């Protein structure tokens, strides 16, 4: 759900730019034929982020580009998870907390939400929060 909410995914296709001097547009199909997508799509972002960190560390230790198609696909998925985590760390986490509190009618401590506007107003006046967030 997070990938669908935060990233530009259309018709199950994730598109991104590799960056660097020789930037290349890439795309990956996120569907039932994609084992990594199936394995990770319902995991918590913190768990996926840890797995991404381990995978990138392993990749950098090898210091070579992956040679087979599966390894290249793994690397593409690292980019997807990393982009989600970056967006989450850049303020989406506050929005998610408020959304969760409002949906449940209580906060993380189990206290009932008495004044929903008290939660929403700081986000609405925060210039860092964008309309698309």
**Residue 118 confidence (pLDDT) above 80:** yes
Cβ-contact 120, 79 below 8 angstroms: no
Confidence band (pLDDT; 50, 70, 90) for 121? very high
**Residue 65 confidence (pLDDT) above 70:** no
pLDDT in tens, 80-100: 878 887 877 777 788 888 888
pLDDT in tens, 2-34: 787 778 788 999 888 877 778 888 888 889 998
- Give the residue-averaged pLDDT of 72-82: 69
CATH code matching the domain that covers 2-89, chosen among 3.30.300.30, 3.40.50.720, 3.40.50.300, 3.90.830.10: 3.90.830.10
3-state SS assignment for residue 1: coil
Percent of the chain whose pLDDT exceeds 90: 13
Report the pLDDT value the prediction gives residue 11, as an integer from 0 to 100: 92
Cβ-contact 45, 2 below 8 angstroms: yes
DSSP designation for 106: B
Greater pLDDT, 77 or 103:
103
Nearby residues of 98 by Cβ (< 8 Å), 6 or more positions away: 119, 120, 123
Report the pLDDT value the prediction gives residue 120, as an integer from 0 to 100: 93
Which two structure tokens, joined as six digits, stand for 96?
A: 């998610």
| C-alpha separations of 5 from 22, 132, 133 in Å | 29, 9, 9
The CA distance from 24 to 19, in Å, is: 7
Q: What is the pTM of this model?
A: 0.55
């Amino acid at each position: 759900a997070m990938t669908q909410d935060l990233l530009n995914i259309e018709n199950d296709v994730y598109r991104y730019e590799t960056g660097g001097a020789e930037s290349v547009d890439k795309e990956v199909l996120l569907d039932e034929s994609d084992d990594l997508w199936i394995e990770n799509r319902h995991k918590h972002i913190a768990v996926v982020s840890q797995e991404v960190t381990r995978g990138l560390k392993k990749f950098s230790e090898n210091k070579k580009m992956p040679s087979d198609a599966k390894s290249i696909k793994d690397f593409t998925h690292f980019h997807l998870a990393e982009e989600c985590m970056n967006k989450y760390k850049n303020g989406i986490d506050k929005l998610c907390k408020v959304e969760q509190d409002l949906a449940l009618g209580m906060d993380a401590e189990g206290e009932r939400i008495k004044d929903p506007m008290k939660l929403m107003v700081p986000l609405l006046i925060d210039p860092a929060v964008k309309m698309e967030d």
